[in-house]
C-alpha cells in the first residue's frame, strides 16, 4: 500500500498583498461615508435644537409682548420659591433670558420657580436650567446682543454656543460655518 503525502500550500506573498490592497481600497471608500453621516446627524440635531429654541422664544413673545432677555427677571410680585436673578441689563441679559425661559413668569417677565395662578402663570418654556450645547462644538454659552439685525452673523469660527439678539428674538449658532441653519 502506498501512502500519498499531501503537500499543503499556503497563499503566496503576492496573493496576500492583493487581498490587503483590496481591503485598503474598500476601507478608503467606506470610512468617509461614516464621517459624512456624522456631520449630517450634527446638522439635523442643530436644526432641531434651533427650531425648539425659536418656538420657545416666539411663544414667550406671544405671551409677554417682548422677547426674553428684556426687562427684568427679578419678580416684583410675591414669589414663594426662588426668584429670577437676571436684572435685564445687556451685561446680564443671558441670565435674564435663562430665567424667563426656564422659570414661571408673570406678565412683565418677572420669574419665579413656583407657579401661582395670579402672578407667575406663564411658562416655563424650557424644562432644563441651562441651554443645550451646540452640536458642533458642544458649547452652551449664550452671547446676547441688541443690534436689531435680522441678518446677524456669528462672532467667529471658534466661538461656538448660541448668539441671540434680544431686540429681534433671532437666535443662531455662534460659529460662522453654521450660523445660517
Residue 36 is predicted with a pLDDT of: 67
pLDDT tens for residues 59-85?
A: 999 999 999 999 899 988 888 889 999
pLDDT tens for residues 116-174?
A: 888 899 989 999 988 999 999 999 999 999 999 888 888 877 788 999 999 999 999 99
**Long-range Cβ contact pairs of 38-46 (< 8 A, separation 24 or more):** 42/135, 42/136, 43/135, 43/178, 43/181, 45/135, 46/134, 46/135, 46/136, 46/173, 46/178, 46/181
Grid cell in block for residue 25: 481600497
Residue 47 is predicted with a pLDDT of: 93
Q: What is the mean pLDDT of the chain?
A: 89
Q: What is the mean pLDDT of residues 100-123?
A: 92
Closest C-alpha to 178, from 26, 37, 42, 77: 42
Query: Percent helix, strand, coil in the chain (nearest 5)?
Result: 35, 10, 50
The kind and range of the H/E element at 30 are helix 13-64
Which residues, 6+ apart, have CB-to-CB distance to 152 below 8 Å?
145, 163, 165, 170, 172
Rounded to two decimals, the pTM is 0.78
Amino acid at each position: 500500500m502506498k501512502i500519498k503525502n499531501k503537500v499543503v500550500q499556503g497563499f503566496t506573498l503576492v496573493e496576500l498583498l492583493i487581498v490587503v490592497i483590496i481591503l485598503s481600497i474598500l476601507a478608503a471608500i467606506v470610512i468617509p461615508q461614516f464621517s459624512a453621516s456624522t456631520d449630517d446627524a450634527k446638522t439635523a440635531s442643530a436644526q432641531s435644537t434651533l427650531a425648539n429654541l425659536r418656538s420657545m422664544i416666539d411663544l414667550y413673545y406671544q405671551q409677554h409682548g417682548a422677547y426674553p432677555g428684556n426687562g427684568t427677571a427679578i419678580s416684583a410680585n410675591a414669589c414663594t420659591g426662588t426668584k429670577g436673578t437676571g436684572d435685564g441689563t445687556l451685561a446680564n441679559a443671558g441670565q435674564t433670558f435663562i430665567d424667563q425661559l426656564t422659570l414661571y413668569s408673570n406678565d412683565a417677565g418677572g420669574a419665579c420657580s413656583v407657579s401661582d395662578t395670579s402672578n407667575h402663570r406663564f411658562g416655563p418654556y424650557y424644562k432644563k436650567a441651562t441651554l443645550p450645547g451646540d452640536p458642533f462644538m458642544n458649547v452652551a454659552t449664550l452671547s446676547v446682543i441688541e443690534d436689531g439685525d435680522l441678518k446677524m452673523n456669528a462672532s467667529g469660527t471658534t466661538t461656538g454656543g448660541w448668539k441671540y439678539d434680544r431686540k429681534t428674538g433671532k437666535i443662531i449658532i455662534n460659529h460662522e460655518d453654521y450660523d445660517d441653519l
